[in-house]
Amino acid sequence: MRQRSDQFTLLVREIPLCIEHKAHGCNVEHFFSKYHPRTYHSYQILSDVKELDHLLKKAKSIMGKIEEGRKKFGFLNDKREPLLSYTSQQNAMKIALLEEKLRKYHDIIHNLQVQTAAKHKELPVAFVTFKSRLGAALASQSQHSLNPLMWITELAPEPRDVSWKNLAIPVRLLPIREFGVIVGAFLLTIFFAIPVTAVQGIAKFEKLKKWFPPAMAINMIPGLSSIVTGYLPSAILNGFIYVVPFAMLAMAKLAGCVSRSNEEIKACNMVFYFLVGNVFFLSLLSGSLLDELEEYLTHPRNFPSHLASAVSAQADFFATYILTSGLSGFSLEILQPGLLSWDLLKSCLCCSRKEKEAYLYSLPHARIIPFISLFLLIGMVYAVVAPLLLPFLIGYFCLGYVVYVNQIEDVYATTYDTFGLYWPHIHHYIIIGILLMQVTMIGLFGLKSKPAASISTIPLLLITLYFNEHCKSRFLPTFHCYPIQEAMENDELDEKSDELEVNYETAADAYCLPCLQPPDFLLASVSTSTQQLMRRLLVIGGIYSLLISPKSQFERNINEEINKVQGASKSCHKQV
């Protein structure tokens, strides 16, 4: 854990323009070498790379086509000379053309990278690397400018975790985007039940038979129709709920977080509130969430007793829910039906690239943590009302532990470390659970006509709220700070083993924009094998020009193309 580049690096946003040089970059250099002269090392300014990104995508797609072609026509797979038939030569020609195109792109990309590096399109965002963790820790936790809207510093996320696109968003737009996302998530939570009930209404078996006559076949097998009518609504509901985390994640991506981990945490929060609204409250209560919300806003005093009576009535339902979700959820988690069908669909649509897409996904926190937190909440609320529910829950958590230990170790890839940043949010969910439990208790004592007990539970509620506030003010900041003591200890360990310099040099290189890395990888696969192919093509071309006279136009084209390609490759080699 000591070799982390992010411990040496700061993310600095809203860098003002240097009036002298009309650039952001030199201002970073001036600023940090002035205020942190002993620890400042280097900076890496970000640039506007939309165009480059676009070109790189195109180049990559061409590269894909070339490889596809090669595999198809067997230029690379079998080492023997290709058949000198007309079609195979045409194919070779096609590939050569594509490769030439790729070379062109390579040149353009290279030029553009040089231009971008020459600071023409700087963004006011930079990664600043320090010579020690202590320096970075001290600088990250301080306010640098008198104006809190300038020189905003924070510890950089891990290099693999950085969300490069979002860094280009101006900081002043972030609150608006975030507000938009909150409103979107709120609307989704409130109005989610409407399309679900609509689809459930349409998908009734009787209606299905009318609109989709082949469904009558279900009647042929005895018992199947009852299973379909029984399970179809809940299957539809679960299908909708399955999609929600992805929708929330897509929304969170719009909020402009600096790292993917932050996006997932945001999505996780939104999914949790969604589940509390649409699973917990909707299961408890009759009517839509909007009606219930209105009811609570108009008569909040009835809320505890209303909740208590609903909770005690629905104990059986939640026991079943925990059992079924536990068994089905964990088995689905192991089988990964979503990914399986997604990959199947992909491979059917573009079967050739199947091998390339064998990508390991990371643990989908936004899909897993909110559900587990929801069950925790259910457990806490029912701990008072129906303690018999707890053994089911213990079974659920034990099974979950076994399943997820397996999944984390063997199935999912680690694309970034969470560094325990989910804990404050889980703490928050637990507090919400405790508050709901206490409200239920107030209602329950009221229902059992023990007003004294009911009233004396209210201070408990207030103390819980105050405890939450206290934790927020005292402990929450530590989740975003890198303590001086730890930074110094790690620095000392590194100095002992003479690794400090290596580490900060690595850190300085780690935050290079991915699309500014040398584009030679594009030509790597080409150049190793294509020089040979080119020569071969030239020979073939020569033979053709001698053999076939009526195709002179084609021949001329080929020659032109070959010349171009040669010229391009020369210039490319010079530049490289």
Q: Give the residues lining the site for a copy of itself (CB under 8 A).
A: 34-35, 38, 134, 137-139, 141-146, 148-149, 151, 175, 179, 182, 297-301, 463, 466, 470, 474-475, 477-478, 481, 483-486, 488
Distances (CA, A) of 79 to 526, 529, 534, 540: 15, 11, 15, 17
| Residue 129, CA atoms < 13 Å, CB-side half-sphere | 24
DSSP labels, 394-423: HHHHHHHHHHHHHIIIII-B-SS--TTTTH
Q: Are 416 and 160 in contact (CB under 8 A)?
A: yes
State the minimum distance, in angstroms, from the CB of residue 336 to a copy of itself.
Answer: 38
Full 3-state SS string of 322-341: HHHHHHHHHHHHHHCHHHHH
State the minimum distance, in angstroms, from the CB of residue 130 to a copy of itself.
Answer: 13
Q: Which class for 146: exposed (0-12), middle (13-18), buried (19 or more C-beta within 10 A)?
A: exposed
Contacts of 499 (CB under 8 A, 6+ apart): 2, 3
Collapse the DSSP code of 457 into the 3-class scheme (helix H, G, I; strand E, B; otherwise coil) and give the result. Answer: helix
Task: Please identify, using beta-carbon distances, which residue of 291 and 486 lies nearer to a copy of itself.
Answer: 486
State the minimum distance, in angstroms, from the CB of residue 407 to a copy of itself.
Answer: 30
Q: Are 408 and 306 in contact (CB under 8 A)?
A: no
Question: Which DSSP state fits 172?
Answer: G
Cα angle vertex 401, ends 400, 407, to 5°? 85
- Produce one character per residue of 164-192: b if its CB has 16 or more CB atoms within 10 Å, e if not: eebbebeeeebeeebeebeebbeebbbeb
State the minimum distance, in angstroms, from the CB of residue 260 to a copy of itself.
Answer: 22
Task: Please identify, using beta-carbon distances, which residue of 145 and 414 lies nearer to a copy of itself.
Answer: 145
Sheet containing strand 122-130, strands side by side:
40-47, 122-130, 9-13, 152-155
Task: Please identify, using beta-carbon distances, which residue of 473 and 497 lies nearer to a copy of itself.
Answer: 473
Looking up tokens 């459930």 gives 200
Looking up tokens 């925990």 gives 322
Task: Please identify, using beta-carbon distances, which residue of 137 and 534 lies nearer to a copy of itself.
Answer: 137
Collapse the DSSP code of 141 into the 3-class scheme (helix H, G, I; strand E, B; otherwise coil) and give the result. Answer: coil
Task: Please identify, using beta-carbon distances, which residue of 344 and 484 lies nearer to a copy of itself.
Answer: 484
Task: Please identify, using beta-carbon distances, which residue of 36 and 103 lies nearer to a copy of itself.
Answer: 36
Task: Please identify, using beta-carbon distances, which residue of 120 and 470 lies nearer to a copy of itself.
Answer: 470
State the minimum distance, in angstroms, from the CB of residue 21 to a copy of itself.
Answer: 19
Q: Which long-range contacts does 438-443 make (Cβ < 8 Å, 24+ apart)? A: 438/464, 439/303, 439/304, 439/307, 440/304, 440/307, 440/308, 440/311, 440/381, 440/384, 440/385, 441/308, 441/384, 442/304, 442/308, 443/303, 443/304, 443/305, 443/306, 443/307, 443/308, 443/309
Spatial distance between the Cα atoms of 200 and 231, rounded to a whole number of angstroms: 11
State the minimum distance, in angstroms, from the CB of residue 10 to a copy of itself.
Answer: 13
Task: Please identify, using beta-carbon distances, which residue of 97 and 421 lies nearer to a copy of itself.
Answer: 421
Q: How many CB atoms lie within 10 A of CB 458?
A: 13
Task: Please identify, using beta-carbon distances, which residue of 3 and 485 lies nearer to a copy of itself.
Answer: 485
State the minimum distance, in angstroms, from the CB of residue 40 to a copy of itself.
Answer: 13
Task: Please identify, using beta-carbon distances, which residue of 89 and 454 lies nearer to a copy of itself.
Answer: 454
Distances (CA, A) of 376 to 84, 279, 336, 423, 535: 70, 13, 24, 14, 68
Task: Please identify, using beta-carbon distances, which residue of 333 and 491 lies nearer to a copy of itself.
Answer: 491
Task: Please identify, using beta-carbon distances, which residue of 478 and 529 lies nearer to a copy of itself.
Answer: 478
Collapse the DSSP code of 286 into the 3-class scheme (helix H, G, I; strand E, B; otherwise coil) and give the result. Answer: coil
State the minimum distance, in angstroms, from the CB of residue 261 to a copy of itself.
Answer: 19
Token digits of residue 45: 């300014």
Token digits of residue 372: 């587990």
Strand partners, 92: none
Element (H, E) at 541: helix 520-547
Token digits of residue 285: 């209560």
Task: Please identify, using beta-carbon distances, which residue of 37 and 550 lies nearer to a copy of itself.
Answer: 37
State the minimum distance, in angstroms, from the CB of residue 125 to a copy of itself.
Answer: 17
Element (H, E) at 45: strand 40-47
State the minimum distance, in angstroms, from the CB of residue 12 to a copy of itself.
Answer: 12
Spatial distance between the Cα atoms of 342 and 510, rounded to a whole number of angstroms: 33
State the minimum distance, in angstroms, from the CB of residue 450 to a copy of itself.
Answer: 20
State the minimum distance, in angstroms, from the CB of residue 480 to a copy of itself.
Answer: 9
State the minimum distance, in angstroms, from the CB of residue 169 to a copy of itself.
Answer: 16
Task: Please identify, using beta-carbon distances, which residue of 101 and 306 lies nearer to a copy of itself.
Answer: 306
State the minimum distance, in angstroms, from the CB of residue 38 to a copy of itself.
Answer: 8
Q: Are 12 and 107 in contact (CB under 8 A)?
A: no
